[in-house]
Amino acid sequence: MPPSEHDLDALAQQALERLTTEGQATIWWERRLAVGEHGISDVSQQTAEFVVLRGGRVGAASTTDLSDEGLDRAAAAANAHAELDREPVDARCLPEAATTRAHDGWDPAVLALDPVDIADELAATAGDGLAVELRAGAARVAIASTRGVAAFEERSFVAAEVHAPGRPVAAAIGPDGIDVGALVAAAEGGFSEGAPQAAGAGEPPVVLGAIAVAQVLEALKPELAGSEGLIAAQRGARVVAPAIDLSDSPRHSGALPRCIDAEGVPR
């Protein structure tokens, strides 16, 4: 069984007490499961991560040894790492504490997934012609900082992908939200490889299916991320047709819900 919220919060505070300067301690518990044609992996582990800020320098270290000695060594390593920062910035600081909102992005069914059962189900659903990969994860994280952040979140996901042209993929917070059979059907009916087909003259209407739209968005990702992206730089201005609405909402019904980022700041 994974550690409780109380256990992780207490461990984050214990880790934070080892820092002698501004800093943050993050305690992760996670299960990562993957089943596909290249193998099966099922890993659960707990990790402590330290970040320190000293004189504008940033240092970081992590460890899976959560004993007192292990936390002491990781805290010391984060301090030592700060000495390697050759570009200190005096204005660097961690964010202040803020109120977070809960979400329903946790499905305990992910904890009970059996990789052998999953492999059998994928083999039966995909048949001999297609390969399907299923990944799942469950995580609990507690974050504590010298600025008063004391945040906790638990989240899970299951994602399936068909290795075929178009690569149909779906993700949900738990196994009940994934229909592998529908993905296989989309792969079989939505794309086929072969010689290019000639198009008739004129400008006929074109309707893109879900897989095709996903491929377009995949190609656009570099331009959507960061202030340097061509599209991101025009945030607030219309750049596409009014019928198109893209948003980054961590609580949308079609998204994987999140309430905090890596520094414990509300999303």
Angle formed at CA 134 by CA 133 and CA 135, multiple of 5 degrees = 125
Task: Write down the pLDDT at residue 59.
Answer: 96
Q: Check: CB of residue 43 under 8 Å from CB of residue 61.
A: no
Q: What per-residue confidence (pLDDT) applies to 175?
A: 95
> What one-character-per-residue DSSP string does 52-109 give?
EEETTEEEEEEES--SHHHHHHHHHHHHHHHTT-SS--TT--PPPP----------GG
Q: What does the alpha-carbon distance between residue 23 and residue 149 come to, in Å, rounded to a whole number? A: 11
Q: How far apart are the first and last CA of the chain?
A: 28
DSSP for the chain, please give it. -PPPHHHHHHHHHHHHTT-SSEEEEEEEEEEEEEEETTEEEEEEEEEEEEEEEETTEEEEEEES--SHHHHHHHHHHHHHHHTT-SS--TT--PPPP----------GGGGG--HHHHHHHHHHHHTTT-EEEEEEEEEEEEEEETTS-EEEEEEEEEEEEEESTT--EEEESSGGG--HHHHHHHHHHH---SSPPPPPSS-------HHHHHHHHHHHHHHHSSTTSTTGGGTTS--S-TT------TT-TTS----B-TTS-B-
The confidence score (pLDDT) of residue 192 equals 59
CB neighbours of residue 96 within 10 Å: 10
Q: Which residues contact 175 (CB under 8 A, 6 or more apart)?
A: 107, 109, 110, 113, 136, 158
CA dist., res. 17 & res. 4, Å (int): 20
Dihedral sign for Cα atoms in the order 181, 186, 187, 189: positive
Domain 5-189+209-234 classification at class level: alpha beta
The domain locations on the chain are: 5-189+209-234
Query: What pLDDT does residue 204 have?
Result: 87
How confident is the prediction along the chain (267 residues), in pLDDT tens digits per residue?
A: 899 999 999 999 999 999 999 999 999 999 999 999 889 999 999 999 999 999 899 999 999 999 999 999 999 999 999 999 988 888 888 999 998 888 889 999 999 999 999 999 999 988 777 889 999 999 999 999 999 999 999 999 999 999 887 778 889 999 999 999 988 888 877 655 566 778 789 998 888 877 778 788 888 888 876 667 777 778 788 888 888 877 777 777 778 888 888 888 887
